[in-house]
Amino acid sequence: MPELPEVETVANGVNARVRGLRIVQVWTSGKPQTFKSPETEIAAALTGAKIESVRRVGKTIVMTVLRDKQQTEFLIHLGMTGRLLVCTPEMPVAPHTHAVLTLDDAREVRFVDPRRFGRLSIHHPENDRASTPTSQNRDVGHPDRTHDRHAGYAGPGREPLTISLEDFVALFRGRKTPIKAALLNQSLLHGVGNIYADEALFRAGIRPTRQAARLTHDELKKLRAALVAVLKQAIKLGGSSVSDYVDADGVRGFFQLRHKVYQRTGEPCRVCGTPIKRIELAGRGTHFCPKCQR
Ligand SMILES: [Zn+2]
C-alpha cells in the first residue's frame, strides 16, 4: 500500500510531465470496482480539458483540469497496486490498464491496477461551495481543528507535513492506544503507514508500544520532527519500493535502502548494533530497536 511519500512522488512526477497539456481522448476499461464515478462521466469531464495541476491531497492524487473556465478534479486513489504512468504511445499497454488519457502531445497518462483496489472519480469543487460547511463532519475528538477544504476526499486526518506542533500534541491527548497504532490511525494523520511509523518512532527513540497519551511534550516534539524528516527524505528519494510501487515513469524508489528498522528483523541496529526486534502491534508487523527506543 503506497504511503504519503509514494503518493506525493507519483503526483509530483505526473505534474512535472503533463501540467499545461490538454486531454484529447479518454479510454476506460469498463471493469467493475475501479470507477467510483460512471465512466461516461469521467470521459465527459476530462475530454478537451486542460490539465492545470496534479498534486497530493491526503493519499489522493488530485488532477485539476480546466474547461470553459470550469474547474473539475479527477481523483485517483492508488489503492494497493495502482500505478499512474506517463507513457509515449509506442510503449506497450500493460495488462490491467483501466484508464488512458491521451494528451495533445500524443503522450498518455495510464492508470494500471492489477488488484483493483484503486479508485477513479470526478469531483466538482463548486458543489462543495454550494453545500454550506456545517459541523456535520467534524471530528468530535478535536473540536479545535479547522475544517479542511478537501476533507471530502482527503479523509478526516491531518496532514503530517504541515500540522503544527500544538495540533500534533493535541492529536494524542487521552489516546490509550499504543503510539504506533495512533500514528497509523488515518483519522488522526493521513498517509502514515507501517513503514514510516516504524521509521519515525526509531528516529525519535520511542518504543512503538508506549501509550500515546503518556508521551511527554518533548517526546511528541521529537516524534513530529522525526516523522516530517522521514517523510521528506523519502519524498526526495522517490519513496520506498517494498512491493510493487513505482513512480510516474515506472521507476522504483530508493528510500527502502535507508530503512533503519522496517523489515530489518534480527539485523544489527545501525546506531547501537542490537538486533532489531519484530512484534505484532495493531495487526501489523512492527520493528524497533529494544535499546535505542524506550
Ligand atoms: Zn539501537
The model's pLDDT over 218-258, given as tens digits with 9 standing for 90+, comes to 999 999 999 999 999 888 887 766 545 556 666 666 667 77
Mean pLDDT of 284-292: 97
Rg (CA), the chain: 20
Helix, strand, coil content of the chain in percent (nearest 5): 30, 25, 50
Residues 3, 6, 73, 108: which is the catalytic one?
3
Whole-number Å distance, alpha carbon 271 to ligand 1 midpoint, is: 5
Q: Quick one: pLDDT at residue 2? A: 79
In the chain, the DSSP E strands lie at 23-28, 50-57, 60-67, 70-77, 83-87, 97-103, 108-112, 119-123, 277-281, 284-288
- Which residues are paired to 281 by β-bridges? 284
Mean pLDDT of 36-56: 96
Does residue 203 have an active-site annotation?
A: no
| Res. 150: pLDDT tops 60 | no
Cell of 159: 496532514
Mean pLDDT of 59-74: 94
Residues 116, 222, 270, 284: which is the catalytic one?
284
Whole-number Å distance, alpha carbon 212 to ligand 1 midpoint, is: 21
Whole-number Å distance, alpha carbon 195 to ligand 1 midpoint, is: 17
Q: Quick one: pLDDT at residue 133? A: 45
Q: Quick one: pLDDT at residue 152? A: 67
The position carrying cell 498518455 is 108
Residues 17, 59, 83, 158: which is the catalytic one?
59
Whole-number Å distance, alpha carbon 207 to ligand 1 midpoint, is: 11
| Res. 140: pLDDT tops 50 | no
Q: Quick one: pLDDT at residue 170? A: 97
Of 130, 29, 7, nearest to 75 (Cα)? 7
Whole-number Å distance, alpha carbon 203 to ligand 1 midpoint, is: 10
**Lowest pLDDT segment from 68-72, 136-140, 169-173, 239-243:** 136-140
Whole-number Å distance, alpha carbon 293 to ligand 1 midpoint, is: 7
Does residue 284 have an active-site annotation?
A: yes
